[in-house]
């Protein structure tokens, strides 16, 4: 059975006091969860304190971005080994906000994915189409290009040590969620494409849905056969909502 994962993406939110309060509640709220994983991807400066808070709990932690370079004169960047120093399990690569605001293209995202895996981090590879692309009927082509960039560089087998997050850009932070059927269609498309190259990798790949997942819609999304959890932005900052979403994995 493939692993299910709910990961919170805090984006550029939080402070020490709020984080501690949020994590105390989340840790208590998900302590009884079995067969499902929970993680939070937090801003860099908070990773050390989050590590202290979450060690010996069933909540993992990770970064929201990472450099594709190992080390060097890259002012402002953070390397994979730095994330590993603080025992991060995951790192998000290719989030649409990185792609659109910070001009990360498929090549850069693939390099980050490889760097993450080389350091022993599990990349959460985000893919997804804009509203214009969906309306133009090019969703599958866009997703295929985004996945292929990674497969060409790292090989299809690398997906056995990765998570894919399907995040339609029109649904991120907009309150517009893809319907369970719309999301399932794309998840099945992703799995089928990978299965054509390696059936067992495809079968075992965790594919999260992200895009305005809330406490009141998580269960119906997670009930779809190819949706293996979620990448959660806004609702991951509200402890009660995030806990409800994590529990929806088990329904
Ligand atoms: C995200 O940041 O990956 C995300 C899905 O955000 P939201 O849940 O707020 O749409």
- Residue 95: active-site member: yes
How large a percentage of the chain has pLDDT more than 70?
99
The pLDDT assigned to 237 comes to: 98
Q: Is 181 helix (H, G, I), strand (E, B) or coil?
A: helix
Q: What are the tens digits of pLDDT across the range 23-63?
A: 999 999 999 898 779 999 999 999 999 999 999 999 999 99
Residues contacting residue 34 through CB under 8 Å, at least 6 positions apart: 250
Instruction: List ligand 1's pocket residues with C-beta within 6 A.
Output: 9, 11, 167, 172-173, 210-213, 231-235
Q: How confident is the model at residue 250 (pLDDT cuts 50, 70, 90)?
A: confident
- Residue of 6, 100, 234, 245 with the most ligand 1 atoms within 8 Å of its CB, for mutation: 234
Mean pLDDT of 108-116: 98
The pLDDT assigned to 251 comes to: 66
Cβ burial of 155 (10 Å; 0-12, 13-18, 19+) is middle
Q: Is 171 helix (H, G, I), strand (E, B) or coil?
A: helix
How would you label 159-191 residue by residue, b for 16+ Cβ within 10 Å and e otherwise? Answer: beebbbbbbbbbbbeeeebbebebbbbbbbbbb
Q: What are the tens digits of pLDDT across the range 74-99?
A: 999 999 999 999 999 999 999 999 99
Residue 231, pLDDT > 70, answer yes
Residue 212 C-alpha to ligand 1 middle, in angstroms?
A: 6
How large a percentage of the chain has pLDDT more than 90?
94
pTM above threshold 0.75: yes
Catalytic residue (one of 104, 129, 167, 187): 167
Say how far apart CA 4 and CA 135 lie, in whole Å. 30
Rg (CA), the chain: 17
Tell me 238's DSSP state: S
Task: Give the DSSP H/E element, type plus range, for residue 145.
Answer: helix 139-154
Q: Is 76 helix (H, G, I), strand (E, B) or coil?
A: coil
CA 178 vs. chain centroid, Å, equals 17
């Amino acid at each position: 059975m493939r692993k299910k994962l709910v990961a919170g993406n805090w984006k550029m939110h939080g402070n020490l006091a709020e984080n501690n309060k949020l994590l105390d509640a989340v840790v208590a709220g998900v302590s009884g969860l079995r067969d499902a994983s929970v993680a939070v991807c937090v801003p860099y400066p908070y990773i050390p304190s989050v590590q202290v808070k979450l060690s010996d709990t069933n909540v993992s932690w990770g970064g929201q971005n990472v450099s594709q370079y190992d080390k060097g004169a890259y002012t402002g960047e953070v390397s994979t080994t730095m994330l590993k120093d603080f025992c991060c399990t995951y790192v998000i690569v290719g989030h649409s906000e990185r792609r659109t605001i910070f001009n990360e293209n498929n090549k850069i995202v693939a390099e980050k994915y490889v760097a993450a895996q080389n350091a022993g981090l599990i990349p959460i590879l985000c893919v997804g189409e804009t509203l214009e692309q969906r309306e133009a009927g090019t969703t599958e082509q866009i997703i295929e290009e985004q996945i292929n960039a990674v497969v060409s560089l790292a090989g299809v087998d690398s997906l056995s040590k990765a998570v894919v997050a399907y995040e339609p850009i029109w649904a991120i932070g907009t309150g517009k969620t893809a319907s369970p059927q719309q999301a399932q269609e794309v998840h099945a498309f992703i799995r089928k494409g990978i299965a054509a190259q390696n059936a067992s990798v495809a079968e075992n790949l965790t594919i999260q849905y992200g895009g305005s997942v809330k406490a009141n819609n998580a269960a119906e999304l997670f009930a779809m056969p190819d949706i293996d959890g979620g990448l959660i932005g806004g609702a991951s900052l509200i402890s009660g909502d995030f806990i409800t979403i994590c529990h929806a994995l088990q329904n």
